[in-house]
Structure 1
Amino acid sequence: MKRVVAQGTFDLLHPGHLHYLETAKSMGGELHVIIARSENVTHKEKPVISDRQRRDMVAALDPVDEARLGHIGDFFVPIRDIDPDIIVLGHDQHHDEETLAAMLEEEGIDCAVARASAREPEYDGEVLSTGRIIDRVCDRRC
């Protein structure tokens, strides 16, 4: 059975997150999800929801076999623990597949890297971005 890793912040879950995880699960039989710790999120705004709550919410989703928090100091610690066959990136994640593959090889971790497809909105007004959800809440409630 192939082990698949998906990773991300998963702040304010939305249908785009579910699409990503369903796509990742379809690439293997066992899906492990690594949730970024708030203190490690440097490429965008810090999450609104706590680390533990984000992990618990992701763990409750059907495609997910295991969800865990990332390591504070070393991105590769949970990857080594899981020993995946493939790491699947979200369609809009800032990681570059070739760079990640080279880093994995340098660390002696033998796994493929793939990228999930985007999910298009299925109806007018469907929101598929945490940032857009926050903007909408602020527009309507602030």
Structure 2
Amino acid sequence: MRVLVFGTFDNLHPGHKFLLNEAQQRGELWVVIGLDETVKRVKGFYPVQSQEERKHAVEKAFPQARVLLGDSEDYFQPIRNIKPGLILLGYDQELPPEIDKRSFPCRVECLSAYKPEEFKSSLRRKVIDG
């Protein structure tokens, strides 16, 4: 079964690796990395690392995974192309409000947090920014 994970994965940390490991244990791991411009639009700021750096970090940590950059026009396109059996969300991720989970072509699950007080990206960004 193909397991799809979406994310920014900026400064790949143990919380990210927890999500990716959980996904990998459930099936064939597919990862879609958010484009720099998409991250800016959604979060209001650019990631510290470029989309290519983030993609490379995930590929290096999970060499058996299929790692792709997101689609700039249609964020559903990777889902249609990959045809996952499961989409696994991180504890702090939500489907966009216009998406009804029940009408999705696959299961959607949300993982519980892994030490969010220590490994949440926004907390780590504060340390980096000083």
Deviates more, 1:63-72 or 1:110-119: 63-72
The equivalent position to 1:133 in structure 2, one of 97, 117, 124, is 124
Percent identity over paired residues: 38
**Structure 1 or 2: more helix by fraction:** 2
TM-score w.r.t. the length of structure 1 is: 0.79
Equivalent in the alignment of 1:16: 15
Amino acid at match of 2:127: R
Equivalent in the alignment of 1:116: 111
Q: Given that residues 31 and 66 in structure 1 are in contact (C-alpha distance below 8 angstroms), is that contact kept between their aligned partners in structure 2?
A: yes
Matches of residues 41-60 of structure 1 in structure 2 within 5 Å?
41=39, 42-44=41-43, 45-60=45-60
Amino acid at match of 2:62: D
Which residues of structure 2 form unaligned runs of 5+? none
Amino acid at match of 1:65: A
Instruction: Let me know the Cα RMSD of the aligned residues.
Output: 2.3
Deviations 1:23-44 (CA, angstroms, capped at 9, x unpaired): 112222x000000101112232
Q: Given that residues 101 and 113 in structure 1 are in contact (C-alpha distance below 8 angstroms), is that contact kept between their aligned partners in structure 2?
A: yes
Q: Which runs of 4+ in 1 moved over 6 A?
A: none
Give the C-alpha shift of residue 127 in structure 1. 3.2
Distance 2:34 2:64 in 1: 16
Which residues of structure 1 form unaligned runs of 5+? none
Matches of residues 45-84 of structure 1 in structure 2 within 5 Å?
45-62=45-62, 65-84=65-84
Deviations 1:67-90 (CA, angstroms, capped at 9, x unpaired): 000000101111111110010011
TM-score w.r.t. the length of structure 2 is: 0.86
Equivalent in the alignment of 1:31: 29
Query: Alignment length, in residue pairs?
Result: 128
Give the C-alpha shift of residue 96 in structure 1. 5.9
